[in-house]
Structure 1
């Protein structure tokens, strides 16, 4: 029947189908298979899908009451349609290759492709597209003799049509401790190799993000909260800033914070990522040390302009009470400062609250001045690993070398 359609009309029709429907269409004929697996078609379908098809909020969590042995409780990947304030509509459960245990966590999502790693040193890394059910295990990156911590960023180099992983390692227990630039390696999916980066970041250490939240992406550039010492080790003086990495030219940069954030001592300043499009404004989350503990959300309205930073929300943790003065709300039984997981498409901030050992999700509507208990989590849901946006794609459908089907 396709012989009766002009090629451009057939392509226009196929571009409107979902990735899973298109995978079935590859079985129709050799010509359809050749068309759908063509890199140009995959790229065009990705662009069409990003502007016309919905994305899903991926929530990765563990329910320790779901298994007789809590230490072996499986990790779940729930996809939620973000068209309801309470995230009531659950679309599906994401299917990843078997064998991933609770030590593995999603560290990044780009164009429907997911980067997964485990451990504080990120030595085991997997890139996977659950929609086409293909994945590749990356070769081991460099391991160091000294104690170190590692952070991983995952993104797409549009100029070279290549997916890349950047791994930043900070030495912790030798004479270089926080006194030298971190070691950096970049993995290219196109070449299949790690290589040392010729462009090094400034002397700094990355603020702890853990596996809770996506990194902040603005115009294809990834961001981390970072800090460097301003005096001797015993002075405990720190200067905070935002470290950026461009996947196209593989260069690092710095985004300055307002002085009230940059000069804090042992406070935590991290970047909040999210949004299906990667986010439009750079947003940071500051948690102060001491008691009471103050938590603030800052937004940079004009990228790169220090004067455009604006504190948009504040709340305090006093004892075991989380107080939101601007809303007149108090949440009792909160045992730790909330973790800012991600920014939703609506602009609301997804927060993880530890209420007497129970992991509960809240949505903070800054503009509407609402603090919403999403009723997700609670008893048994002791920890969440990642929250970010996922969209199905055909990426990897035409890849055979190094890819494993599951």
Structure 2
């Protein structure tokens, strides 16, 4: 090869590789040992991700959605909502009405998963890259000894990228509810954070507001956001928003917008540098109304941004796409997109079944984890 006219210098070869999609690069690793070593090198993996990230910044309409089912994840274009291809999941989820693949969060092509029961996320937590079919099981919790007795525990998880440390981290809140219906707690949750760099958990000692968080978490600009309540015994029961900042590792309660009853908080979502709180009127009815409130750029308060008339009701809110659409599923479990520019809604029958806890609106291909 060195003496042939087909020889390419290493620098030029890498430059070519950086322009190739992930699937092509995976095939290239089978050509020869030197290509295999080059593509799986940590520096190349990082360079390819940066190139891929720059592309998505310049082409925000080239986005993908990932819908998880029992045995396959389906990749869908986020502009025309056409099914592109399917990826076999690393877990065969049992056909249980509460069982799910449970996407805890996604970042830069990596997904955090906790397969099992949606409302009781256990000790089995994984980081998975669907593009390269590589998964990593996280080590046991630092609080494993706390689980040896007969107490009922409930975990709440979050996953995100910590820019200041260049690390992927998972936060876990461990609650000890008074009953199995998880309506109130008598002790603050235990808190621990996992680092992908060190492949270990560490305990975080900090004050936590007395909020019983729900399973859905949003990661936005280095901060996790949960919705929840202080006790179902509250009359009337009120929703709350709680955050955890990865930089200072502090929890705090977020003041809500001035929403009149009977609106109820359904989700907190991030989109294009902005944070939104999603409220619903007549939740579960055929004529639901969704109201999206946007946090101002200085984090001083909320402004009403969008009102969506939902003719077929709301089953679950999903989030914002790169192409500036807000997604939710109606009561017929069909996908509905609301265009933030035209203010028009469109129903999409994807022809696939998906779990409400296994949808990713920011899916992208990357080689992350390929060097491990």
CA distance in 2, matches of 1:394, 1:132: 7
Shift of 1:26: 3.0
Assess if the C-alpha contact under 8 Å between 1:236 and 1:266 holds in 2: no
Q: Which region of structure 1 is more displaced relative to structure 2, 93-102 or 344-353? A: 93-102
Q: Does 1:246 align with 2:245?
A: yes
TM-score by length of 1: 0.74
Match of 2:304 among 303, 310, 314: 310
Shift in alpha-carbon separation, 1:337–1:374, aligned structure 2, 3 A = closer
Distance 1:351 1:127 in 2: 25
State the distance in 1 between where 2:263 and 2:327 align. Answer: 24
Q: Does 1:395 align with 2:368?
A: yes
Q: For residue 336 of structure 2, what is the aligned residue in structure 1?
A: 362
Aligned to 2:223: 221
CA contact (8 A) 1:338 1:352 kept: yes
Note if 1:33 corresponds to 2:36. Answer: yes
Secondary structure of the equivalent of 2:243? strand
- Pick closer, same or farther for the CA change 1:225–1:239 going to 2, 3 Å: closer
Measured after TM superposition, the shift of residue 30 of structure 1 is: 3.9
Root mean square deviation, CA, Å: 3.3
Counterparts of 2:178 and 2:20, CA distance in 1: 53
Distance 1:386-1:99 versus aligned 2 partners, 3 A rule: closer
Aligned in 2, Cα 1:17/1:246: closer, same or farther, shift over 3 Å? farther
Contact 2:28 2:35 in 1 (8 A): yes
* CA displacement at 1:396 relative to structure 2: 1.3
Please state how far the C-alpha of 1:46 moved relative to its aligned partner.
Answer: 0.7
3-state secondary structure, aligned to 1:52: helix
Q: By how many angstroms is 1:237 displaced?
A: 5.0
For residue 146 of structure 1, the aligned residue among 128, 144, 151 is 151
Q: 1:175-214 counterparts in 2 under 5 A?
A: 177-178=184-185, 180-207=187-214, 209=216
Where structure 1 has 5 or more consecutive residues not aligned to the other structure, the ranges are: 62-73, 210-214, 316-321, 323-330, 400-406
Distance 1:5 1:303, change over 3 A: farther
Question: 2:368 aligned with 1:375, yes or no?
Answer: no
Change (3 A) 1:398 1:371: same
Contact 2:240/2:253, CA 8 A, preserved across alignment: no
SS in 1 for 2:205: coil
Q: Which range moved further: 339-348 or 288-297?
A: 288-297
Segments of 5+ residues of structure 2 without an aligned counterpart are 57-61
Deviations 1:109-156 (A, max 9, x none): 222112111222211212212222221222343437433432211122
Closer, same or farther: CA 147–259 of 1 in aligned 2, 3 Å = farther
1:79 is aligned, of 47, 68, 75, to 75
Cα offsets for 1:190-223 (capped at 9, x unmatched): 33333322234322122453xxxxx433223332
Match of 1:56 among 56, 61, 64: 64
